[in-house]
Chain A
Amino acid sequence: MRDINEHTPGEDLIIKTAVRLMVPFAQLFGLYVIVHGHYSPGGGFQGGVILGAAFIMLALAFDVKTSQQYMTIRVNTVFNNLGAAIFVGVGALSAIFGGLFLDYSALDKLIPMGPVEWRSFGIFLVEVGVGFTVMSIMVLLYWNLSSGGAMDEGL
């Protein structure tokens, strides 16, 4: 792993230190926004953007290659598809277990928690999926656009 303290031209020590201090709090806040999404302001998309912004801060302050050491392209691809698969999978699972599509109360047959509780919890599951996808897509968009498409050579 490249030494983070190695000096590359054009990068400022203050920015690097500030970003290194800020990123954990940004990620914590992003997780907080996702988790509180289903009954107060917040939700999957908003929390996902904040989480993605944390990685983009790293890429802005250091280098795209450095931020790729924290999230490799392979992990990015997995998060992309995992998030969308969670959303569609929860819906399909509810349909398989006898309810309608995205009718979370049917998942009661899988883990008994009471149908009303499941309708609330199902939204949370789906928002987590959305958060994963949005986070990885924001980071992927930034990598691709800032480097003119050269990022996909990493695989």
Chain B
Amino acid sequence: MSNFLNYFVNGVARGAIYALIALGFVIVYRATHVLNFAQGAIMGLGGYLVYLFSGPSKDQTFASSWHIATLPYWVAVPIAMLISGGVGMLIERFIVRRFRGRPVFAAIMATLGVGIILEVGAQTVWGSGSLPLRNPFDGKAVQLGLAGLSIRRVDLFTLLVALAVAGGFITFFKKTKMGTAMRATAADQEAAMAQGISANLIFAMSWGIAAAIAALAGILLASGPDRSVEPAISLFALVGFPAIVLGGIDSVEGALAGGMLIGIVEQVAAGYEPRYASFLGNGFFSLTPYLLMLIILLVRPSGFFGTEEVRRV
């Protein structure tokens, strides 16, 4: 039982990151109806930008790469998020905007191309090795009261940040004027424009917010005692797809719930796999999100929270 709870806690920590990733996908999708395949690269970029501003960790065993300042972690992270958001807005303005009204395939391929350029560009600047971040987290764990149940500090921080970001975004989305404008544009673009909402601004805003959140997810994936910024971070973005399919591709709450669920399922599977399912092969747990997604797609294509696609005949 305590094993299960530990796996569960791991899953919650991982799920918080997946929820942020999924949130990024959903924000972009709601605004521009594009699946942002460049998001993985943006996550990696976030990590590299933190490295750029905060420098290498004190551990001297790693060769250092290009950095311009040694700001504290808490200062570098917001800067990195801001710059990533700016990159997201630029992508929307100069590339995605040209694909409005074009087939889905073209937009998907364009974001894939942007992703390749961003990812390889980041590797060109910072190399493809692991760069440990100078971050305040050590390996210490926080006891959770229950017997033998503990959570690492970085995981607890991740969870709290994810909750804060999700809560903040939902408040912004539901209560503020800009959030209402975003929802209005998603519901009916022409009617929203007739009310004086600038659709272009909304699209750029959405891409900016999504990119900043994605960058935060990447930074969190790279923070911690045994983690570092590396090209493999961008692969985590792909687990965001099962999460949004689970929750519904256009539902903010669905993305958060889906991401959390995917994280828990994956980590519990990872915990039990060596003992009970070794015949499925090493690393089978990394497939569980996709298998779950396939089942959901066959049973309920629009996910649990998403709106069903209405097609005019």
The answer to whether A and B come from one shared complex is: no
